[in-house]
Amino acid sequence: MNTLKLLSPAKINLTLEIINKRSDDFHNIISLVTDISLTDELFFTASDQINFESNVELEEKSNSILNTIFLIKNKFQLDNGIAVKLVKNIPLSSGLGGGSSNAATTLIALNNLWELNLNTSDLIYLGSKIGSDVPYFIQKGLSVISDKGETIRRLDTNNQIWFVLLFNNHNHSNKTKLMYSSLTHHNFTNGGLTRKLEARIRNNSDIPNELLFNCFDNISDQIFDGLSEKRNVFQSLVGEEVILCGAGPTLFYKAPNKETATAIHLLLTMKHGLHSEVVHSGKLK
C-alpha cells in the first residue's frame, strides 16, 4: 500500500508585532516569518478507519492532525479513513509552530489523497478555522503575515538565513493563551519594524539583527522559569540580544553564516550543557 511522506517544517518569527486586540478577543498582528530546516515527518496511508500513531504522546484535544482530519470529514461529509504516523522532531509547545505545521501538512495530504480539488485559497481558509498559524504553513517561505495570521504576502528571496535555536521546557498547559492574556497595550506596536524589514528584503538588502523583534520578549522571562538565565548565557556568547520564537519559550539568534552558528551551538551544548540546534531557512544549494 502506497504511503505519502511529507515534511512538516517549523517556523521562526523574525518579527512579531501585536497591533491591537480585536473585538473577538483575538489579536491583529504583523509578522515576518520563515520556515526552517527543523521538520516533523508525516506518513499518510489509505485506510478504512482513522488511525494515528506518534513517537510522542499528544493530548487528544490538542492533536492538530486528528482535529484537521475530522474537520475535513465533517465539512465534506466523507466516510474516508486514513492512517497517519507522526515522527515528532519539533519540540512540543516551543513557539516554533509545530502543531500548526502538522495541521497544514495534513490539509495538503488529504487534499491530495482524498481528491478534494481544493485550491490554495480554499486550504488557507480551512486552515484559519484550525489555528491562526495554520494558513502560513500552506504556502511557507519568507512571508509577511497579518490580521489574525490569515493574510499572507510572500517575499521572493534566494537568501539563506542561519539560526541557532536554544530550547527551553515549560509546564504551562495553555501557553499561547497565557502569553497573549499577559500583554497590555504597552506591548502593542504599529508594525513599523516589520514593514521596514520587509522593505529591506524587497530591495535585496541585509537583515540586521537590531530590526528583529518579538513583543513577547518583555514578558517571557517572568513567565518561563529559568529562561532569563539561559537568555543571559546565550547573549554572552553572541554579544547581542537573542529573540523569542513565537510565544516561546525557544530563543533564537540569527547568525552571519553556518560556521558561526555551528560554533555557538557547540559552546551552548558542550560547555553549558544546553539543548541547542543549528537550522537554516530555505533550501540548501
35 is known as an active-site residue: no
For Cα atoms 62, 102, 64, give the angle at the middle one, nearest 5 degrees: 20
pTM here is: 0.95
In the CATH scheme, what is the code of domain 3-154?
3.30.230.10
**Confidence band (pLDDT; 50, 70, 90) for 111?**
very high
Q: Which of 35, 40, 133, 221 is catalytic?
A: 133
Q: Which of 11, 175, 230, 254 is catalytic?
A: 11
220 near 248, Cβ under 8 Å? yes
Residue 77: the pLDDT is: 96
Report strand pairing: 81-87 vs 50-54.
Answer: parallel
pLDDT tens-digit map of 194-237: 999 999 999 988 899 999 999 999 999 999 999 999 999 999 99
Confidence at 1, pLDDT banded by 50, 70, 90: low
> How many residues are present in the chain?
285
Instruction: Take residue 171 and report the three cell numbers written for it.
Output: 509546564
- Second CATH level (architecture) for the domain 162-280: 2-Layer Sandwich (3.30)
pLDDT in tens, 5-35: 999 999 999 999 999 999 888 899 999 999 9
B/e letters for 127-165, b = 16+ CB within 10 Å, e = fewer, are bbebbbbbbbbbebebbbbbbbbbbbeebebeeebbbbb
Phi and psi torsions of 110, nearest 5°: -65, -35
pLDDT classification of 285: cutoffs 50, 70, 90? very low
**CA-to-CA separations, 246 to 19, 188, 236, in angstroms, rounded:** 15, 15, 22
pLDDT at 120 over 90: yes
Q: Where are the domains of the chain?
A: 3-154, 162-280
133 noted as active-site residue: yes
